[in-house]
Amino acid sequence: MNADLIQKYFNGQATDQEKEEVLSFFKGKKLDSEHEEILRDWWNKYHPLDTYPKQAGEVLGRINTYIQTSERRAVRPLRWFKAAMAVALVFSMTFVIYHYRPLEKEPPIVHQVIKTTPLGTKQQIRLPDGSLIHLNSGSSIEYPKLFGRDLRKVILKGEAFFEIEKERQRPFVVECRGLKTTVLGTSFNISGYESEVVKVSLTSGTVKVDDQRDSTKSIYLTPGEQVICNTKHNSARIEMFDLHKVTSWRSGILIFDENDLSEIVQILTRWYAVDIQLSGVTDINQVKWKYSGEFDNESLENVLHGMSYVKEFDFIIKGKKVHILLNRKKNISNKHRNTDDMNSS
């Protein structure tokens, strides 16, 4: 008796002699270790995706007892009885296979939450584990409605400050533009707007920063350090940072630190949700000046006033449109003209 012969029986390909052999095999009073081993070999060979059920021997043992009892009571011709036994055997094996086969577990449905801050706004988000996220303007954060047992993962686009609840058994991971920042419990800032470098600045605790494309490049930060990654050129450097400059945006303080005109336009666009147009220059990258300054919850008009005294430009604000004139055209009677007062959010 072997596994192939049992399968031939169930496929209807066995000869009369082979059928007798299979039936005799299953007519034993109980399934001893030899029977069990043959059945297990057959199961593993022809049902490789299923686990051999522990209950198979018990169920077949009961059926064999029933067959033995029925055989002693049989008064019909032997041929009829053998056919009845064959039907009972097929039914019993099918029952064992499909009743005791392990159910395939469907993957749990993970409900994702996406929070977005429009330009000119900021918001605080409390995560399912109690961690707090401060989301800057023009940013979004994606996270599951409920974190898993082993990991807390979020996906950031833009900039956010994180205050993470400490859980040693469940690390917190932030993915942002190809970088993966892993923490247990700490506070840090990540800035990863498109077209800009990605900065991870640690204020407390420890973090590990990985390049998702190359897991061998791990960087560990201590408080006061930040890593600046240029994902375009695949480069990174670690330096100390000014806590006030990095985190002041949460309090509505706008800081420029040797920013060029292109960077200033991007920052003002996000901060005040405006469309900025320039005149007097054909290529913004040709303007070689840098600007530093700090504005505490000031309106756009006041910010531009302050900048214009240093960099000597004119501007017009009309609704959500801002026109900056870098060459001080003489046909504009008012040096600074605001047709719609715009305040910082």
Q: Do 210 and 307 share a structural domain?
A: no
* Distances 246 to 102, 132, 189, 226, 301 between C-alpha atoms, Å: 54, 17, 7, 10, 24
pLDDT value for 169 = 86
pLDDT value for 80 = 47
- Confirm if 270 and 135 have CB atoms less than 8 A apart: no
Q: Note whether residue 220 is domain-resident.
A: yes
Q: CA–CA separation, 179 vs 25, rounded Å?
A: 63
Q: CA–CA separation, 269 vs 283, rounded Å?
A: 18
Identify the domain containing residue 58 by its residue range. 3-100
Q: Do 241 and 125 share a structural domain?
A: yes
pLDDT value for 306 = 94
pLDDT value for 44 = 57
pLDDT value for 334 = 45
Residue-wise pLDDT tens digits, 325-335: 986 443 333 44
pLDDT value for 196 = 76
Q: Do 151 and 196 share a structural domain?
A: yes
Q: Note whether residue 167 is domain-resident.
A: yes
Q: How many domains does the chain contain in total?
A: 3
Q: Do 172 and 120 share a structural domain?
A: yes
Task: Name residues of the chain where pLDDT drops below 50.
Answer: 29, 46, 49-52, 55, 59, 66, 75-77, 80, 91, 95, 97-100, 328-335, 341-345
Structural domain ending residue among the three candidates 42, 70, 100: 100
Q: Do 212 and 267 share a structural domain?
A: no
Q: Do 204 and 136 share a structural domain?
A: yes
pLDDT value for 3 = 58
Q: What is the DSSP track for 125-192?
A: EE-TTS-EEEEPTTEEEEEESS--SS-EEEEEEEEEEEEPPP-TTS-EEEEETTEEEEESS-EEEEEE
Q: Do 224 and 159 share a structural domain?
A: yes
Q: Do 193 and 93 share a structural domain?
A: no
pLDDT value for 195 = 73
Q: Do 221 and 127 share a structural domain?
A: yes
Total residue count of the chain as it appears in this document: 345
Q: CA–CA separation, 295 vs 195, rounded Å?
A: 24
Q: How would you class 309 by CB atoms within 10 Å of its CB: exposed for 0-12, middle for 13-18, buried for 19 or more?
A: exposed
- Confirm if 276 and 322 have CB atoms less than 8 A apart: yes
pLDDT value for 339 = 52
pLDDT value for 332 = 38
Residue-wise pLDDT tens digits, 120-156: 999 999 999 999 999 999 999 999 999 988 899 999 9
